[in-house]
Amino acid sequence: MGLLNSFNQWKETKYQNHVSNMKDQAKCPDCYGRGYTVYPYNEFAYFNSFECPGCQGSGQYTDWEEMR
C-alpha cells in the first residue's frame, strides 16, 4: 500500500499548498473567493451556481476557516 499512501500524501500536499495560496489572498479555498461553486458536469444544474458551503457564500478565507 506504499504507492497509495504516497499518492494520498501527494494529494494532501497539493491541497495544503492550495489552501496556503488562498490564505495569502484571503480567499476561500473551496470556491477560489467567488462565493459560489459551479457544477458544469450536472446537466440539470448547468446554468445554476450554488452558494459555496465552505464559506457560506462570502468567499473569505476567514469564514472558510471558521466553518471547518
Interface residues toward Zn ion, by CB under 5 A: 28, 30-31, 52, 54-55
Shortest distance, position 11 Cβ to Zn ion, whole Å: 20
State the alpha helices, DSSP H only, in the chain.
Answer: 2-24, 61-67
Q: What is the DSSP letter of 12?
A: H
Q: Check the CA dihedral 17-19-25-29 and report its sign.
A: positive
Is the CB of 5 or the CB of 36 nearer to Zn ion?
36
Comparing CB distances to Zn ion, the nearer of 8 and 49 is 49
Choice between 30 and 39, CB closer to Zn ion: 30
